[in-house]
Structure 1
Amino acid sequence: MSKSVMKINVARQFSKNPAGRYVSDGKNSGEVFLKNLLIPAITTHDEVEIDFDGVRGYGSSFLEEAFGGLIRLTGMSVDEFKAKVKILSRDPYLLPEINSYVQDADRAFAK
Structure 2
Amino acid sequence: MAEPMHLSIASEFSPFPAGRVESDGPFNGSKFRETLLLPMLKQALTNQTSVIVSLAGVMSFGSSFFEEAFGGAVRSLELPTHKARSLIKIDAGEAENERYQRLVEKHILKAAKKF
TM over 0.5: yes
**Does the aligned pair in 1 maintain the 2:84–2:109 contact within 8 Å?**
no
Matched, 1:26 2:20: no
Flag as ranges the 4+ runs of structure 1 deviating above 2 A. none
Name stretches of at least 5 consecutive residues in structure 1 with no aligned partner: none
Matched AA of 1:51: S
> Which secondary structure does the structure 2 equivalent of 1:92 belong to?
helix
Distance (whole Å) between structure 2 residues aligned to residue 5 and residue 18 of structure 1: 23
In the alignment, which residue of structure 2 is the partner of 1:92?
98
Q: 1:56 aligns with which of 40, 56, 59?
A: 59
Name stretches of at least 5 consecutive residues in structure 2 with no aligned partner: none
Distance (whole Å) between structure 1 residues aligned to residue 111 and residue 85 of structure 2: 14
Matched, 1:106 2:112: yes
In the alignment, which residue of structure 2 is the partner of 1:41?
40
**Does the aligned pair in 1 maintain the 2:53–2:88 contact within 8 Å?**
yes
> Which secondary structure does the structure 1 equivalent of 2:76 belong to?
helix
> Which secondary structure does the structure 2 equivalent of 1:63 belong to?
helix
Distance (whole Å) between structure 2 residues aligned to residue 41 and residue 60 of structure 1: 22
> What is the aligned-residue RMSD (CA, Å)?
1.4
Distance (whole Å) between structure 2 residues aligned to residue 81 and residue 104 of structure 1: 10
> Which secondary structure does the structure 1 equivalent of 2:102 belong to?
helix
In the alignment, which residue of structure 2 is the partner of 1:72?
75
Matched AA of 1:11: A
In the alignment, which residue of structure 1 is the partner of 2:6?
7
Q: After TM superposition, give the deviation of residue 27 of structure 1 in Å.
A: 1.9
Distance (whole Å) between structure 2 residues aligned to residue 47 and residue 103 of structure 1: 16
Q: After TM superposition, give the deviation of residue 4 of structure 1 in Å.
A: 4.1
**Does the aligned pair in 1 maintain the 2:4–2:51 contact within 8 Å?**
yes
